[in-house]
Amino acid sequence: MDFLKCKSELEYIKLLDKNISLELANMKLEDTLTKKKDELMWVKDDLLSAQKAVIEKDSFLQETNFLLLEHISKTSSESKQNEAIGACNHFHNSITNHIHLKTGLPPMKLYLMDMDKATRHKSSQIQSHSASPSWPFLMLVTGKSGLALIELFKIKKDRSN
C-alpha cells in the first residue's frame, strides 16, 4: 500500500506540475491575446484616421476641381474678350495703315521739349533746327502721321485733370 500511495502521490505531483505548466501557458496566451487585441484596436484607430484623411482629401480635391473649373471658365471668357479686343485693335491698325498708305507719309517722330530746360541749354544759344536732338527732351513720341500727337495730348490732358 505504501507503494501505491507513493505512486499515486507521484502521479498527483506530476499532474499538478502539468496543471501548473498549462496554467502558465494559458496565462501567456491570454497576455498575447490581450496584446493582439490592443494592437488590433490601434490598427482600427489608424484605419479610421486614414479613412477620415482620405475623405477630407477627396473633399479638398472636389473643392479644388470646382474652383479650378470656375477659374478656367473665367479665364476662357476673359480670353474671348481679349480676342474681341485684339480684333478691334487689328481693325484699328488696318484702318490707320490704310490711311498711311493713302497719304504716303512715313512714320514720324515727335520730340517734346521742356522749354525751360531748352532755353538754359547751351545749344539754345545757337540758331539750329528746332527739333535738334541735342536738346534735353521731356519724352520721345513715335507714331504715324498726326494720330500719335492727338493721343499724346489726350493723355496729357487726362493727367492734368
Q: Which of 132, 101, 104, 97 is nearest to 118 (CA)?
A: 132
Q: pLDDT category, 137, cuts 50, 70, 90?
A: very low
Q: Which of 102, 130, 137 is nearest to 116 (CA)?
A: 137
Q: How many CA atoms lie within 13 A of 46 on its CB side?
A: 6
Task: Convert the pLDDT of each residue in 95-121 to its tens digit.
Answer: 455 555 555 555 555 555 555 565 665
The per-residue pLDDT for 113 is 57
**Of 3-17, 39-53, 73-87, where does mean pLDDT reach its minimum?**
73-87
**What's the pTM?**
0.36
